[in-house]
Amino acid sequence: MSESRIAVISIIAESRVSSAGINAVLSEFGDYVIGRMGIPYKQKSVFLISVAVDAPEEVINAITGKIGRLEGVTAKTLMSKIRNR
């Protein structure tokens, strides 16, 4: 496996129903998750989630892809330029 990268995955969920799918994916890749923060934005009826991960680039892309394919969910990743030593 390639060297790991530190990244933040930003998720916007349009419904609380999406949370089960998001949690399932994050549990599947739980060994790579550093931490997460969720903010319900009640005025707009959306949920904002940030997930910090330390994983190989392929794994980060897999997490983002699986979450982004869930209905009513958008996910994007910001990766650090620093690769783990």
What is residue 42's predicted lDDT score, i.e. its pLDDT?
Answer: 92
Has residue 43 got a pLDDT over 70?
A: yes
| pLDDT above 70: percentage of residues in the chain | 95
Has residue 1 got a pLDDT over 90?
A: no
Q: What are the distances in angstroms from CA 42 to CA 23, 47, 67, 75?
A: 20, 8, 21, 19
* Full 3-state SS string of the chain: CCCEEEEEEEEEECCHHHHHHHHHHHHHCHHHEEEEEEEEECCCCEEEEEEEEEEEHHHHHHHHHHHHCCCCEEEEEEEEEEECC
Distance spanning both ends of the chain, measured CA to CA: 14
Q: What is the mean pLDDT of the chain?
A: 93
| pLDDT above 90: percentage of residues in the chain | 85
| Residue-range domain boundaries for the chain | 4-83
CATH tag, 4-83:
3.30.70.1150
The band of 23, judged by pLDDT with boundaries at 50, 70 and 90, is: very high
